[in-house]
Amino acid sequence: MQRTRVIALSGVSGAGKTSVIKRLSEEFNSPTLLFDDFVEPNTYPIDMKAWLHQGANVSQIQSPRFTKALSELKTLSELKVHSDSQMIFIEEPFGRERAEIAHLIDYVIMLDMPIEVCLSRVVKRHLKHSNDPSTTLSNYLRKYDDHLRDVYIAAANHVRQSSDLIITNVGTIASIQSTISDWLHDNGK
């Protein structure tokens, strides 16, 4: 039985995790799981501002369906004797910092982009995908100014400490994919 490696891409909202994961998945013919696909009403603490002031314990962010899906996918992948894939790429904004999922992650790659670049990308995303961009964007920016920026910074500081690879260069999705690809090949992953 071949051991499947779980590669988590982490970073704040707008860092490029989903875009990079999609490209890596195609390159390595690997399955993916995206954190945002498993977010439920009770995933995040109700009062994120209070959560931040109480120490920003990322283990309080719960995604049991995500953890279960990853566990099942990893088991299935390892049972396939002739599986093409030896990796699963996941979008896990919090790296190994959440106790519920840490044991399933082999490597954490952090996309540590400047916060203003991430904000710009989130703004563009709101403008492109929202039915009412002025309202959703206004609400997001109000929260961002009030506490979300600090939440992102606190979470990134946690993740940075336990990442296996940290990418800080603001490049194209293709160049970031290439950097990760080279790292995976060089390290026998």
The answer to whether the beta carbons of residues 110 and 165 sit under 8 Å apart is yes
The CA distance from 26 to 155, in Å, is 29
At 63, is the secondary structure helix, strand, or coil? coil
Instruction: Determine the pLDDT at residue 21.
Output: 96
In this prediction, residue 1 has a pLDDT band, given cuts at 50, 70 and 90, of very low
Using CB atoms within 10 Å of the CB of residue 85, give its burial: 0 to 12 exposed, 13 to 18 middle, 19+ buried: middle
| pLDDT reading at 127 higher than 70 | yes
* 8 beta partners: 90, 108
pLDDT tens track for 93-124: 999 999 999 999 999 999 999 999 989 988 88
